[in-house]
Amino acid sequence: MASGDDLTFDRSVAARSGECLQVSGLVRRIIAPNAGPFTFTGTCSYIVGTGKVAIIDPGPDDAGHVTALLKALSGEAVTHVVVTHTHRDHSPAARAIRAATGARIVGCAPHAQIADAPSGRLDASHDMDHAPDEVMQDGDVLEGAGFHLEAVHTPGHASNHLCFALREENALFSGDHVMGWSTTSVAPPDGDMAAYMASLEKLRARPEAIYWPGHGGPVREPERYVRGLATHRRQRETVILQRIVAGDETILSIVERIYEGLDPRLKGGAALSVLAHLEDLVRKGRVASSDGAATLEARYRAA
């Protein structure tokens, strides 16, 4: 999969789930016990600060993980639970932490309501019950005890996705927008390829020198890596266009051609990723769909 010039994935496992690891001066990390093909070694929950702390992405609705977070923080106060986006592996535990500590839930907006979602599987991955006490907009800064977190709106993986810049360490919590172990999923209708590409460019213009992603270890050369991610998607778009010009009319046939030897569990996600590219190409007028708009079932031809 690593076809971009500067794109090398880091699949080293830095910690076991449940362990609280100090990863920088201000940041601790506990990995949730939800390893899997979409979550790698599990969701990374980050604790920012000391004494009065914020928890970024408390993770799935998992009592054991909530207990591990609270145990690691015994004697400290949780002032904020900060959420990057409303996928079930990131946001649901916010409710249990708020109930146990009185912390405010801040960060991304509630999940977008989308009519005619084409994928039942991905619907199941959305946390529709997320109810923040305060929604942060792009550029809003959360002032904690000894730290500042600036929200950076980065739609693409999810329309409400926020990254958070930690000013004191020139670091960025990149959620699922940029991860070192893999490309991210961009699955319509909530995912959007054009928005994702614009959000990559937005990060490239920023100064942060290290990213702490929602899954896997840190990204230590983010400018170079993000450029590699953008190149990878542009190459993927070119390959999809070539398949259509060569006569492949359906998403299924394109997936069979370009994802050889793919883990069968990831095929649905691959189809949605191709759909995301086709949605962008149809909007740009380069591909025509038999359904007008890009859909999973449509037949496609070069426009």
C-beta of 127 vs 280, nearer to Zn ion = 127
C-beta of 184 vs 289, nearer to Zn ion = 184
Give how far Cα 161 sits from Cα of 57, 66, 254, 263, Å. Answer: 12, 22, 28, 27
Site for Zn ion, residues 204 to 263, rule: CB under 5 A = none
C-beta of 176 vs 248, nearer to Zn ion = 176
Site for Zn ion, residues 76 to 105, rule: CB under 5 A = 87
Residue 185: CB minimum distance to Zn ion, A: 7
CB 85 within 8 A of CB 91: yes
Q: Which two tokens stand for residue 177?
A: 């927008």
Residue 50 one-letter amino acid: T
Question: What proportions of the chain, in percent to the nearest 5, are helix, strand and coil?
Answer: 30, 20, 50
Exposure on the CB side of residue 63, measured as CA atoms within 13 A: 0
Residue 38: CB minimum distance to Zn ion, A: 8
Which of the residues are catalytic? 89
C-beta of 175 vs 217, nearer to Zn ion = 175
Residue 126: CB minimum distance to Zn ion, A: 9
Site for Zn ion (CB under 5 A): how many residues? 2
Cis peptide before 92 (omega within 30 of 0): no
Residue 76: CB minimum distance to Zn ion, A: 27
Positive or negative CA dihedral for 21, 173, 217, 103? Answer: positive
The contact pattern for Zn ion, residues 145-184, with x = CB under 5 A and - = no contact, is -------------------------------x--------
Residue 176: CB minimum distance to Zn ion, A: 4
The answer to whether residue 190 forms part of the interface with Zn ion (CB under 5 A) is no
Contacts with 250 (C-beta within 8 Å, 6 or more apart), sequence order: 298, 299, 300
- From the list 146, 211, 164, 140, the residue with the least C-alpha distance to 56 is 164
SS3 266: helix
Name the helix (H) or strand (E) containing 229. Answer: helix 222-245
Q: What does DSSP assign to residue 168? A: G
C-beta of 174 vs 289, nearer to Zn ion = 174
Q: Which residues bind Zn ion (CB under 5 A)?
A: 87, 176
